[in-house]
Structure 1
Amino acid sequence: MDDLTGFQRDLLYVIAGADQPSGQDVKGEIETYYSTDINHGRLYPNLDTLVNKAFVEKGELDRRTNYYAISERGRQAIEERREWEKQYVDT
């Protein structure tokens, strides 16, 4: 996960916290968090990066809509990240 951008990590966390969200679902959540519009040219290439790095799996809901699901590798990367953060942030 250390080679992901902050935006990609945020996308990964959103996907991990949802049940097979569509790209539009992810977009809505991330726009709420960032308090700004996220255009398709930023969103989908970053989602594709997560798929290509095997952190996320992509499937079809219908011919026009894809869903995204956290992979085991993605879940493990989040767990490792949280362990790393714990040494710096006391919660």
Structure 2
Amino acid sequence: MYDLTGFQRDLLYTIAGQDEPHGLAIKAELEEYYEKEIHHGRLYPNLDTIVDKGLVEKGEVDRRTNYYSVTARGRRELAARREWEDQYIGEQLSNAE
């Protein structure tokens, strides 16, 4: 996951948090988070990148709609990332509460 851009990581997190979302559902979630429009030319090439890296699987709902789901490798990468983050900020966040 170290070689992903921040946007690609956000895509992975967004997909992991939904049940087989389609591209427009992912786009809507990220637009709400970023508070700006996400263009198709940014979204779909980055989705293809995380699919090509084996972190996400792309399936077909119909001829026009794809769904995305996190692979076992993607879940392992997310868990490793969470562990890495926790070593730096986990205790700080616990103390802030």
TM > 0.5: yes
Q: Note the 1:1-91 alignment, pairs <5 A.
A: 1-89=1-89, 90=91, 91=93
Once residues 88 and 23 of structure 1 are traced to their aligned partners in structure 2, the CA distance between those partners, rounded to angstroms, is 32
- TM-superposed deviation, 1:65: 0.2
- TM-superposed deviation, 1:30: 0.5
Question: Which secondary structure state, in structure 2, belongs to the residue aligned with residue 74 of structure 1?
Answer: helix
- TM-superposed deviation, 1:19: 0.4
Query: TM-score, normalised on structure 2?
Result: 0.92
Once residues 67 and 14 of structure 2 are traced to their aligned partners in structure 1, the CA distance between those partners, rounded to angstroms, is 13
CA RMSD after TM alignment? 0.5
Question: Which secondary structure state, in structure 2, belongs to the residue aligned with residue 87 of structure 1?
Answer: helix
For structure 2, the 5+ residue unaligned runs are none
For structure 1, the 5+ residue unaligned runs are none
Percent identical pairs in the alignment equals 64
Once residues 61 and 19 of structure 1 are traced to their aligned partners in structure 2, the CA distance between those partners, rounded to angstroms, is 13
Count of residues paired in the alignment: 91
